[in-house]
C-alpha cells in the first residue's frame, strides 16, 4: 500500500468518525434540530480531528441534508425532512444488489406494521373517501382497452401512500414513500403479470380487501391480507 493511499484511508476514517460523532450527538439530543453546530475548532477538539477532516465531514453532512450552512452565521442542524437524508441508504441498497424477494419481505413487514398501527390508533374523524376515489381511478385504468402500466403504478403508489397517511405517523409516510420508490421496477413487473393473466378483477379485489381490513378493524386478517396482496409480486 502506498503512503498516499494509506493517508487517504486514514483521512476517510477520521472524516467518518466526525460525521458519526455529530449524528450521534443529534440522536442523543446533545444537539437539536435548528441548533448551530459548535465552531470548527471546537469540533476538532471534540472529535480529535484536523480542520480538513472536520470541513469534509460537514460537507458530506450538508450533501445528505442533515445540516445546512448559513454564510457568516455558521452551520445548523436541519429542522425539516429532506429527501437527501435517505439517499445514502438508497445507494447502499443498490450497491448490495438486493434481490426481488428481499424487497417483497421488506415491504410486507412495513405494510403489516402500518395496518396494525392504523387499527390500534384509529381516529374518530378518519374517513375512507380518498381510498375509494383512488380505487375508482385504478379500476377505470385497469379496464381500459390498453391499460397504462405507469398509470396503474401511480394509482397503486397513491393507495399505499393513503394507507400510510391514515396511520397519522409521519415516519411511516416517509418510509412508505421510500420503499415505493425502491420497489418501482419489481412493482411494474408485478402489474404486467396480472395483466398478462387477465386477472384485473383479483387485483382490484386485493386492494379492496386491504381497505376492508382498515375500515372494519379486522386485525386478525392483517397478515393474510398483506401476503395475499403480493401474490403477483412473488412470481
Q: Which three cell numbers stand for residue 205?
A: 379485489
List of residues 6+ apart from 175 with CB closer than 8 A:
110, 164
- Which phi and psi angles does 166 have, rounded to 5°? -75, -5
Write phi, then psi, for 77 (nearest 5 degrees). -80, 135
**What are the residue ranges of CATH 1.20.120.530 in the chain?**
98-229
Per cent of the chain over pLDDT 90 is 45
H helical segments located in 197-232: 200-215, 222-229
Looking at domain 98-229, its CATH class is: mainly alpha
Share of the chain above pLDDT 70, in %: 84
Closest alpha carbon to 172 in 224, 107, 217, 230: 107
Asked if 103 and 203 touch (Cβ cutoff 8 Å), the reply is no
Domain spanning 3-81: CATH 3.90.1170.40: no
Q: Are 47 and 17 spatial neighbours (Cβ–Cβ below 8 Å)?
A: yes
pTM for the full predicted model: 0.65
* Model pLDDT, residue 97: 56
> pLDDT for 178-196, tens place per residue?
788 777 777 888 888 888 8
Query: Between these two residues, 82 and 1, which has the higher pLDDT value?
Result: 82
Amino acid at each position: 500500500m502506498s503512503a498516499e493511499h494509506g493517508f487517504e484511508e486514514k483521512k476517510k476514517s477520521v472524516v467518518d468518525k466526525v460525521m458519526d460523532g455529530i449524528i450521534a450527538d443529534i440522536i442523543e439530543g446533545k444537539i437539536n434540530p435548528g441548533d448551530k453546530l459548535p465552531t470548527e475548532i471546537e469540533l476538532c477538539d471534540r472529535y480529535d480531528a484536523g480542520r480538513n477532516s472536520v470541513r469534509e465531514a460537514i460537507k458530506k453532512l450538508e450533501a445528505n441534508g442533515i445540516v445546512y450552512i448559513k454564510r457568516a452565521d455558521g452551520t445548523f442542524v436541519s429542522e425539516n425532512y429532506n429527501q437527501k437524508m435517505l439517499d445514502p441508504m438508497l445507494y447502499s441498497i443498490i450497491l448490495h444488489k438486493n434481490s426481488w424477494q428481499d424487497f417483497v419481505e421488506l415491504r410486507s413487514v412495513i405494510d403489516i406494521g402500518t395496518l396494525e398501527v392504523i387499527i390500534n390508533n384509529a381516529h374518530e374523524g378518519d374517513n375512507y373517501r380518498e381510498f375509494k376515489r383512488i380505487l375508482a381511478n385504478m379500476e377505470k385504468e385497469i379496464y381500459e382497452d390498453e391499460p397504462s402500466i405507469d398509470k396503474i403504478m401511480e394509482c397503486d403508489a397513491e393507495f399505499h401512500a393513503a394507507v400510510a397517511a391514515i396511520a397519522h405517523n409521519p415516519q411511516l409516510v416517509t418510509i412508505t414513500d421510500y420503499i415505493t420508490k425502491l420497489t418501482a421496477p419489481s412493482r411494474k413487473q408485478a402489474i404486467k403479470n396480472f395483466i398478462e393473466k387477465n386477472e384485473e378483477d383479483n387485483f382490484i379485489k386485493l386492494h379492496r380487501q386491504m381497505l376492508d381490513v382498515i375500515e372494519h378493524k379486522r386485525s386478525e386478517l392483517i397478515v393474510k391480507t398483506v401476503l395475499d396482496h403480493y401474490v403477483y409480486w412473488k412470481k
